[in-house]
Amino acid sequence: MPLSSQARTDALERMGTRELDVLVVGGGVVGAGAALDAVTRGLTVGLVEARDWASGTSSRSSKLIHGGLRYLEMLDFRLVSEALKERGLLIQRLAPHLVRPVPFLYPLAHRLWERPYVGAGVLLYDTMGITSGNARGLPHHRHLLKRQALREAPCLRDDALIGAVQYWDAQVDDARHTMALVRTAAGYGALVANRTQVVRFLRQGWRVVGALVKDLESGRETQVHAKQVINATGVWTDDTQAMADARGQFHVRASKGVHLLVPRDRINSRTGLILRTEKSVLFVIPWGRHWIVGTTDTDWNLDKAHPAVSAKDVEYLLEHVNKVLVTPLTAQDVEGVYAGLRPLLAGEAAETSKLSREHLVAHTVPGLVVVAGGKYTTYRVMAKDAVDEAVQALEAEKVPGCTTDTVPLVGAEGYRALWNARHRLAEQSGLHVARVEHLLGRYGSLVHEVLALIAEDPTLGEPLPSADDYLRAEAVYAVTHEGARHLDDVLARRTRISIESWDRGVEAARTVAELMAGPLGWDEEQTEREVSHYVKRVEAEWAAQNQPDDASADAARLGAPEIVPLS
């Protein structure tokens, strides 16, 4: 089902006309997953998000679908096993068009003890993936001599390794995956609306019986009644709980993870890298024509909507990755930056890197279920647990169990057959086969809908200014089918132009805004406002990146206001 502007309006109207079984608050990966889980059990479901789908942490992750080698080292076998099972499901069945294998090289620096130690860990990692029943499609790890490792990654300094172990994990375009979850849920009947804020919870005595929601585009408020409300607001969990006067059984702390993007030619390697740091691990991840270098793990108590990247963050990542590179990276090599906030369950640990990545689900007050913590890879398990908890307060024996392990996301069905026929698709569409491959990796079997736009208007087959990877048709499709309502939605989440281009999307901004204007009914003034806002956002991010610390970077980033302010 297309997430069109009219579909959003209809969904908000219908939410106010009936009591729902479940209302999910929060349009990140867990909230979207919970909506899909609930609706595929036959429940009536609403999903609201105050900003855009995946506008928080779910568009700013390391973009990895993985078990987490470092959690294995912490002996957290259950978390790793659970995550590896989910990795296999996503690659094989749920989203093969969005989740794909990626190799990583682990350089060994110490003789005698390190190879057996790392090798045993990676062997266990692979074995746990196989025993999960979902490892097909990922090669087995392999041990490399020094010369073999340097052949795979000539970028490494000769004195940085004595050998290596190479293993495979997976990566995802997190924002597109979350949006696909929302779109799949809508296709099964969920009522979904972004730019819709919960103003307050509705109560009958102590019980939560729904929420008063506000359409931030029109200002219209709607009372949405629901038998159960699920709070899936990530790092905003404590704020949302406070609206229900719920004294939480746990609290969520935010940990900032910073990532840099550099051009692919700056690091000469055929494989990703995983490097040890004093606190955690550092990844160098292949990402199209770029590398993602990250991440950090530091406490964050400032603005949650737009966590800022400071000069100190950039220096930290460059310093650590340069320890192993023949040709060091400089700040001038950095194309884009982004920071995401991990929602960690608060404990006694002094450092956020030691806080829990486990998730918890609780009925903190009658009618309100909260789900918090966890990691991107295990979103489906978190969603299942949250809906299971909500169902306990319904007529549980009449509600079927979770089916999302067998429900492919939009674009998944038929993807592999289309990939095999990509040369024919290229011939039929008049596009280069590399372009078709890129589209298939973003839309899967929905690629025909994008190609239909180009067939109708061939100018939409042209690339966007300073963003050659993306076509004009994709900006239109983002509005008509993917729920994009503002320029920022398209440049930062439906595409990744805001982090992949040197000018961070400034040159493409006006063209994209003009393409969006027709479907959204913008006049010239609104189009100009969108462009102006986006340029100010980029300027604020650049200003923040030159600040020495978090506080000054946060102040600089807040210089750009929200295009749609929250109430």
Which pLDDT tens digit goes with each residue over 491-526?
A: 999 999 999 999 999 999 999 999 999 999 999 999
pLDDT reading at 279 higher than 90: no
Instruction: Take residue 194 and report the two structure tokens written for it.
Output: 């972004």
pLDDT band at 134 (very low <50, low <70, confident <90, very high): low
**The dihedral formed by the CA atoms of 463, 468, 473 and 474, expressed in degrees to the nearest 10:** -170
**Rounded-to-integer distance, Cα 56 and Cα 369, Å:** 20
**pLDDT, tens only, 205-226:** 999 999 999 999 999 999 999 9
Phi, psi of 330 (to 5 degrees): -120, 170
pLDDT band at 397 (very low <50, low <70, confident <90, very high): confident
**Rounded-to-integer distance, Cα 318 and Cα 322, Å:** 6
Cα-Cα end-to-end distance for the chain? 30
**Rounded-to-integer distance, Cα 242 and Cα 201, Å:** 10
pLDDT at 136: 60
Least confident of 281-295, 356-370, 418-432: 356-370
Query: Which whole number is the average pLDDT over 92-118?
Result: 95
Cis peptide before 406 (omega within 30 of 0): no
Task: Say what angle helices 29-39 and 379-392 make with each other, to 10 degrees.
Answer: 50
Residues of the chain above pLDDT 90, percent? 84
pLDDT at 504: 97
List, in order, residues 6 or more apart from 79 with CB less than 8 Å away.
Answer: 67, 68, 71, 357, 358, 375, 378
Query: Which whole number is the average pLDDT over 98-117?
Result: 94
The residue among 412 and 132 whose pLDDT is bigger is 412
pLDDT band at 352 (very low <50, low <70, confident <90, very high): very low
Query: Which whole number is the average pLDDT over 531-557?
Result: 97
Least confident of 147-156, 350-359, 449-458: 350-359
DSSP-derived letter for residue 463 is E
Q: Which amino acid is at 29?
A: V
pLDDT at 249: 64
List, in order, residues 6 or more apart from 488 with CB less than 8 Å away.
Answer: 52, 498, 533, 534, 537, 563
**Rounded-to-integer distance, Cα 189 and Cα 182, Å:** 11
pLDDT at 355: 41
Map tokens 């912490």 to a residue.
74
**Rounded-to-integer distance, Cα 269 and Cα 203, Å:** 58
Q: Which amino acid is at 409?
A: L
Other CB atoms within 10 Å distance of the CB of residue 350: 9
Mean of per-residue pLDDT scores for the chain: 94
The residue among 181 and 396 whose pLDDT is bigger is 181
Instruction: Take residue 455 and report the two structure tokens written for it.
Output: 């067939």
Select from 407, 417, 410, 507 the least CA-distant residue to 450. Answer: 410
Query: Which whole number is the average pLDDT over 361-366?
Result: 91
- The angle formed by the CA atoms of residues 218, 224 and 230, to the nearest 5 degrees, is 110
